[in-house]
């Protein structure tokens, strides 16, 4: 019989949390009250609590964006009621309600991942809200991760360092 290898959850790697809570409990708290508690947890969590801050940022930005969208649609619906017809108000208010129901699966997914002690990766969202100091690129050939700060940017005005092919010769000046 083969031994079962256990992997360390992302939450267990954090030594710090918020107000003496476990990292999982603090991450669940961040998701619990949507953008309100997400913002508070992100603000109050210590710098070393990467897992907690990760979930707090996601809760803040995902639920906050939907709240802003829903409030904007409600405002547009009120304007439509006065400027167009009351039917336009009904249509736009249903769209605002649909935005709230549309965020529910993402909220539950984030809450579930926080409960399990796992990080959350949302395409198009995570790379925009995670600070560069906490982002890690795929492992290098020797197996060590490369931090984003260790990667040299492309030289100004030149091709990126990974471009293939010979360099073009400069043209002689007449």
Angle between helices 34-44 and 23-32 (to 10 degrees): 140
> What does the mean pLDDT of the chain come to?
76
Question: Would 104 be classed as within a structural domain?
Answer: yes
Q: Which one is predicted more confidently, 161 or 93?
A: 93
Q: Is 113 exposed, middle or buried (0-12, 13-18, 19+ CB in 10 A)?
A: buried
Question: Would 84 be classed as within a structural domain?
Answer: yes
DSSP-derived 3-state class of residue 138: strand
Task: Please report the pLDDT score of residue 149 as a whole number.
Answer: 47
Question: Would 145 be classed as within a structural domain?
Answer: no
DSSP-derived 3-state class of residue 34: helix
pLDDT tens-digit readout, 69-113: 999 998 998 888 888 888 888 888 899 899 889 889 989 999 999
Alpha-carbon distance values, 51 to 2, 32, 155 (Å): 31, 16, 34
The residue range of the domain holding 120 is 13-129
Q: Is 6 exposed, middle or buried (0-12, 13-18, 19+ CB in 10 A)?
A: exposed
Task: Please report the pLDDT score of residue 157 as a whole number.
Answer: 56
Q: Which one is predicted more confidently, 97 or 161?
A: 97
Residue 143, Ramachandran bin (φ over 0: left; ψ between -120 and 50: alpha; else beta): left
* 77 CB-side CA count, 13 A: 16
Task: Please report the pLDDT score of residue 44 as a whole number.
Answer: 87
CB 117 within 8 A of CB 10: yes
Question: Would 93 be classed as within a structural domain?
Answer: yes
Question: Would 75 be classed as within a structural domain?
Answer: yes
The verdict on pTM exceeding 0.75 is: no
pLDDT tens-digit readout, 111-146: 999 999 888 888 878 888 877 655 543 444 455 554
CB 111 within 8 A of CB 120: no
pLDDT tens-digit readout, 18-42: 677 888 888 999 999 888 999 899 8
Question: Would 139 be classed as within a structural domain?
Answer: no
Neighbour tally for 141: CB within 10 Å: 5
Q: What is the DSSP letter of 142?
A: T
The number of folded domains in the chain is: 1
CB 108 within 8 A of CB 34: no
Which residues lie below 8 Å from residue 71, measured CB to CB, with a gap of 6+?
Answer: 96
């Amino acid at each position: 019989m083969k031994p079962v290898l256990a992997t360390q959850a992302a939450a267990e790697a954090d030594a710090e949390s918020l107000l003496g809570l476990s990292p999982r409990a603090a991450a669940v708290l961040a998701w619990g009250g949507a953008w309100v508690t997400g913002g508070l947890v992100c603000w109050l969590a210590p710098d070393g609590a990467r897992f907690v801050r990760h979930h707090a940022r996601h809760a803040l930005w995902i639920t906050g964006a939907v709240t802003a969208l829903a409030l904007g649609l409600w405002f547009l619906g009120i304007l439509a009621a006065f400027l167009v017809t009351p039917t336009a108000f009904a249509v736009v208010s249903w769209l605002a309600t649909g935005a709230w129901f549309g965020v529910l699966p993402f909220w539950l997914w984030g809450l579930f991942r926080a409960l399990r002690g796992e990080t959350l990766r949302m395409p198009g969202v995570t790379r925009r809200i995670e600070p560069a100091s906490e982002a890690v690129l795929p492992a290098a050939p020797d197996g060590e991760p490369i931090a984003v700060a260790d990667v040299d940017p492309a030289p100004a005005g030149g091709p990126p360092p990974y471009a293939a092919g010979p360099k073009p010769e400069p043209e002689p000046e007449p």
